[in-house]
Amino acid sequence: MSHASPPRPLSVAAAGPLRGTLTVPGDKSISHRSLMFAGLAVGESRIRGLLEGEDVLATAAAMRAMGAQVVREADGTWRVHGVGVGGLLQPQVALEMGNSGTSTRLLMGLIASHAITATFVGDASLSKRPMARVTGPLSLMGATFTTSPGNRLPLTMRGLTPAVPIEYALPVASAQVKSAILLAGLNTPGITRVIEPVPTRDHSERMLRGFGARVDVEETPHGRVISIHGEAELSPQDIDVPGDPSSAGFWMVAASIVPGSDVTIRNVLMNPTRTGLVTALRLMGASIEEVGRRDVGGEAVADLRVRHAPLTAIEVPADLAPSMIDEYPVLFVAAAFARGTTVARGAHELRVKESDRIAAMAAALALAGVRTTEHEDGLSIDGRDGDPLAGTGTARVASLLDHRIAMSMAVAGMHARDAVTIDDAAPIATSYPAFLDTARSLGAQPQWIAA
Ligand code: S3P
């Protein structure tokens, strides 16, 4: 986690069509929230299908450090005994967040309305990410912060009980910021309100309601107004975490670009605040068929059959950005195989993810033989009309401690003349530990190589 693990270079060369059926791990956003909300409920919740990646394990450890009992059963079910809203205990150690922005920002929200002090530390990537977007509104609620320069980690915060309810219009479209404020509102008297000008993923709203909190959502001319009624009581739940559409995105693109591919991805979350990549790929001509749409625990899920198809460049609609914010790196890979130049703008937030994903993908694609033009808020990619990429030869793509850069470029290698080599694929374990096993099960041949 924050102690740097040794880099693990990975090489991926073309190995023919991808075929087969796979399941993706549980959704990362829902997994974090399941542990946090169960940790605040009174009684025992059970969670099946939890993503057991490093980011979610950081959340589990933090909830334990603050008094929740969090146990993994041998069959993979997680049992959580919560402390009750307002019952979080003072952690005796610094909260080790590793690479996980979601753990950090949502937990800061939880702690803001508890009279406890907590220190957050993270890896080199997380320590560069902006925290003012959460320390700002949480300070208005009464929490106090001592941060590293630039409002960054490591930081120490002290929450306040009772905290002060606020009404806050989000200056950036961010589900993490929205959620941090709503979670602080859980233990705050009165009504805490967040106004989001553009809809972002709504898992916190849906799940908090499921746990018994009163959350009202109103569509207004200024955006969605989300109100949480404070001093809530949460009751334990049984949760089935649906498959992560962000993880599924790698296979959607891989099957679309590798000739002859035919892949079925089972049990993918189809919440409309998360399906922007499916929309964008379909606009490009991808063949993505939904089979057996159904409801699991209040969320739409479906199996997706994806077959190779020639792709055409598009201007990526900027209003899709919030619903595919984590999928741009792999969309850029799809664009590299399309006919024409794809233009993606209006995605400035990509600059402050686990890496600067605009600069990181421009550099990675250039190394693999793709021409791109960087914009302040996006990237234009000259597609190769189905031709394989050149590959990187002996040069290595820099993954910059960013799991999605590593996995996106691994996908690029699946249709390249020479291999694509990535300097460090260890970060894949933050969100998708089984990624390489699944790649092999579909016929790809990723290889670990010497550092
Ligand atoms: C997430 C929100 C998004 C996303 C992240 C998960 C969440 O971040 O990039 O991977 O679970 O709320 P922002 O809210 O910063 O856009």
- Is 2 inside a domain boundary? no
pLDDT tens per residue, range 388-431: 999 998 899 999 999 999 999 999 999 999 999 999 999 999 99
Residue-level pLDDT at 4: 65
Q: Which atom of ligand 1 is nearest to the CA of 179?
A: 12
Query: Would you report the helix, strand and coil content of the chain in percent, each value rounded to 5?
Result: 35, 25, 40
For residue 95, the cross-strand partners are 120
From 325, 350, 430, mutation site for ligand 1 pocket: most ligand atoms within 8 A of C-beta? 325
Locate all alpha helices (DSSP H) within 158-272, ordered by sequence: 175-186, 203-210, 245-257
Residue-level pLDDT at 1: 41
Query: Which residues have C-beta within 8 Å of that of residue 425, sequence separation ≥ 6?
Result: 8, 9, 10, 399, 406, 410, 436, 448
Locate all alpha helices (DSSP H) within 284-348, ordered by sequence: 328-336
Q: Radius of gyration over alpha carbons of the chain, in Å? A: 21
CATH number for the domain spanning 441: value is 3.65.10.10
Tell whether pTM > 0.85. Answer: yes
Number of structural domains (the chain) is 2
252, 306 Cβ separation under 8 angstroms? yes
Give yes or no: residues 309 and 377 share one domain. yes
Give yes or no: residues 318 and 433 share one domain. yes
Q: Which of 27, 55, 303, 326 is catalytic?
A: 326
Residue-level pLDDT at 3: 46
User: Cα dist. 327→161, 175, 274, 389 in Å?
Assistant: 38, 15, 10, 20
**What whole-number distance in Å separates Cα of residue 163 and Cα of residue 180?**
14
Residue-level pLDDT at 5: 77
pLDDT tens per residue, range 291-319: 999 998 889 999 999 999 999 999 999 99
pLDDT tens per residue, range 135-155: 999 999 999 999 999 999 999
Burial of 312 (0-12, 13-18, 19+ CB in 10 A): middle
User: For the chain, which ranges sit under pLDDT 70?
Assistant: 1-4
Last residue within a domain, chosen from 188, 205, 229: 229
| Atom 4 of ligand 1: nearest residue by CA position | 326
Give the three-class secondary structure for 44.
strand
Q: Which atom of ligand 1 is nearest to the CA of 106?
A: 12
Give yes or no: residues 370 and 437 share one domain. yes
Domain that holds residue 402: 10-26+242-448
Give yes or no: residues 49 and 158 share one domain. yes
Q: Is residue 326 flagged as an active site residue?
A: yes
From 27, 29, 104, 405, mutation site for ligand 1 pocket: most ligand atoms within 8 A of C-beta? 29
Q: Which atom of ligand 1 is nearest to the CA of 246?
A: 10
Last residue within a domain, chosen from 229, 258, 292: 229
- Which helix H or strand E contains 148, and what residues bound it? strand 144-148
